[in-house]
Chains A and B, each alone.
Chain A
Amino acid sequence: MAEMSVIWLRVAAALYSLGLLHSILMLVRRREHLFGVALGAFALGAVFHFVSIVDEGILSNRCPIANTYETLSMCSFLVAILYLFVQWRYKMASLSAFIFPLVFVMSLMATLGNPVGAWSNPVVRNVWLTVHIVLVLLGIAALVVTAVASLLYLFQERELKAKKPRKFYYRLPALGTLDDLISRSMGVGFVLMTLAVIAASTWAFIEHKTAWISQPDIAISFFTWGTYLVLVFLRTTAGWRGRKAAIMTVTVLGFSAITWVAHSRLGAMLLHQ
């Protein structure tokens, strides 16, 4: 990608990050009053994004969808425009919980198409990697809490539906309490996972230059993050609870475990430094 085009795209990603911040606050603290600011920044980000795509198209004299990065940029721009239209037409603010993080992560990945120089210092490289690993582990821990609470919710829900109280009914916490725990742990886990994905993308970008995006283990990571995003979205907008939510949470946990196995070499890499 051309130098100026990447700069415009970075500005757009920075503005989209306010949308991500709004989603995080909505999940963790259940505050939605930042929505107006986030939406404004998101719209402005889309303008810069448009400039970036046009700039790239003019300079290369073709439609800028020739490689993965350009395609990602175009794709995230289209999602952003489509969302802005839906928001303007139908006022679906809840959709932002899904769209804002998605557009931000896609555009961030698209900005990583131009390789930068090697690590300035090996210590920075290792610290960066350590931060990523710690964030992932904390995120998985939060996801385990979510999965366990979801299963307990399922048991208690069955007891209440059966109308014949047995041991679980008396021993397990109330559905409301479990629901609250699920929401909080899922929100915190998603924030940690998102930060881990950002840290990992930038680390891989510097480490592997432009080749990082075509690696299958990176694709698995993004897929897992995507399933987590869908879970969060379904939970916050459609109010998924009970059986569906439990199955979905356990699935995301399963994908996280696969991702962990796929990246097990990272920990070893750190240890052997």
Chain B
Amino acid sequence: MKLLLTGVSHKTAPVEVRECLAFPEDSLASALKDLRTRAGVTEAVILSTCNRVEITITTEDGVDPQSTVDAFLADHKTISSDSIAAHLYRYEGREAIHHLFRVAASLDSMVVGEPQILGQLKAAYNTAKETGAVCGWMDGLLTRAFNVAKRVRSETGIGQMAVSVSYAAVELARKIFGSLNGRTIMIVGAGKMSELAARHLRRSGATHVFVTNRTYERAIELAKLFQGTPVEYSRFQSTLPEVDILIASSGATEYILRKEEMQRVIAARRNKPAFLIDIAVPRNIDPAINDLDNVFLYDIDDLQEVVNANLRERMKEADRAEELVTEEVERMMARLKVVEITPTIVGLQEQLESIRAAEVEKVKRRYGPFTEQQQEALEAATRAIINKVAHGPISELRVQAGKPDGAHAVALIKKVFHLQD
């Protein structure tokens, strides 16, 4: 059996090439059926996302999988093979398994650790399974890939840190308040990013949203979106003692909240922490406010810095994840080698059994006839002998098959027992 993975990704091909090779969801099943019915192809799966298109097939030993995939692409895609050749990557055997595990674990993603790729791979697997394109060995391989991805996510922090500004705001709020349940948010001004951050915070447990805007009608409109309370712009500071998280994104050209004003707010809050997110440019909140105890002020650059730090941390975790993936690939290869050695073990057992049967027959002819009891004893004794003889080489075959340098020992055992490949 041969395994080949052919594909393009955001790392190897620009979007113009990726979009030419992509398989729309509605044509994926028919493409898989066509690929599966090609000569020598035993199983196939196609992963098609905005960042990658990958075709993985297993074929019989006598078939060239590369030409099969090339022919398939030529039949289904109008783009010439010459123009895509430079962008394509092809992995066989162990390399293909390694790549598949890395993709599933989101180590090959544009944003390392993003969770969507695993869902997309599972969807590709389901489609292949429904069309009958995955029905045996590759089923086990993909299931293993999902388990590897799960292990990587649970044993490393690869997916734990926010990598978008709006999520970074939510993560910081969690770092300040612990749980966001029952927290109160205030949005000052209107903007897509403040809306998004408020939405994330609301989803994370924040219960009440105050909205204020220079145009009161706009505040009412936005408040409706969050089932919140509109506040008149002139009165927003008097509401601040109730507010745990303030998101400022108004178009004001001067600070709308100064240090001495915030000092009064924090005293009214009896020093309960307050998180101020200033995503306006020019800034809405006096940066000196961050010097106050129990006030945490982050502007857009600070949030970006958190995102960058998170990305650096993710890369550190990715190194650990790579080690886990390599370990899993080795385990998978060892398992495959054990499966590969099974015909040799069966051959050895059959050979010993035929020798035993022939010798028993000879004894029967020369010294027989035997009573039923004697025959049973003869069979049991000879079987026990060949089982004991076979135990050593069979165990050694299993052990050596799993080792990277075990091929020599396997060949030697085959030679000793006159076993053919």
Chain A contact residues, CB within 8 Å of chain B: 156, 160-161, 163-166, 169-170, 173-177, 179-180, 237-244
Task: Say whether B270 contacts A239, CB under 8 Å.
Answer: yes
Task: Please report B residues at the A interface, Cβ cutoff 8 Å.
Answer: 157, 161, 172, 174-179, 269-273, 290, 293-294, 296, 298, 302, 305-306, 309-310, 313
Q: Output the least CB separation between A30 and chain B (Å).
A: 14
Q: 4 closest A-B pairs (Cβ-Cβ)?
A: A176-B178, A239-B271, A239-B270, A174-B178
A174 in complex: contacting residue of B175, B270, B271, B293, CB < 8 Å = B175
User: Can you name 5 extra interface pairs (CB under 8 A) apart from A239-B269, A239-B271, A242-B293?
Assistant: A174-B177, A176-B179, A176-B273, A241-B273, A241-B293
State A174–B296 Cα separation when bound (angstroms).
Answer: 13
Given contacts A170-B161, A170-B313, A243-B293, A163 and B176 within 8 Å (CB-CB): no
Which residues from B are CB-within-8-Å of A163? 298, 302, 305-306
Contacts of A244 in B (CB 8 A): 293
Beta-carbon nearest neighbor of A169 in chain B: B175
Q: List 10 A-B contacts (CB under 8 A).
A: A163-B306, A165-B313, A170-B161, A174-B175, A174-B176, A237-B270, A239-B270, A239-B294, A242-B293, A244-B293
Which chain B residues border A180 with CB–CB below 8 Å?
178
A156, A177, A242: the one within 8 Å of B294 (CB): A242
State the majority secondary structure of interface residues on A.
helix
Residues of chain A within 8 A of B310, CB atoms compared: 165
Q: How far is the CA of A166 from the CA of B308 in the complex (A)?
A: 11
Contact A160 B296, CB 8 Å, known A170-B313, A174-B175, A174-B178: yes
Pairwise interchain contact B177-A240, C-beta atoms closer than 8 A: no
Chain B residues, CB < 8 A from A170? 157, 161, 313
Docked complex Cα distance between A161 and B309 (Å): 15
Q: Which of B174, B290, B309 contacts A164 (CB 8 A)?
A: B309
Report how far A240 CA is from B298 CA in the complex, Å: 23
Q: Which residues of A contact B296 (CB under 8 A)?
A: 160-161
Q: Which residues of A contact B298 (CB under 8 A)?
A: 163
Bound-state CA distance A120–B294 (Å) is: 55
CA distance A152 to B176 in the complex (A): 13
Determine the distance from Cα of A163 to Cα of B304 in the docked complex, in whole angstroms.
Answer: 10
The one of B175, B178, B271, B273 in contact with A238, judged by C-beta atoms closer than 8 angstroms, is: B271
Residue pair B271, A241 in contact (C-beta under 8 Å):
yes
Compute how far the CA of A169 lies from the CA of B160 in the bound complex, rounded to whole angstroms: 13
List of B residues within 8 angstroms of A175 by Cβ: 175-178, 273
CA–CA, A147 and B176, complex, Å? 19
User: Once the chains are docked, how many angstroms separate the CA of A113 from the CA of B143?
Assistant: 80
Give bound CA distance, A71 to B132, whole Å. Answer: 94
Q: Let me know if A160 and B176 touch, CB within 8 A.
A: yes
A241 to B176, Cβ gap below 8 A? no
Roughly how many angstroms separate A180 CA and B270 CA in the complex, as a whole number?
Answer: 16
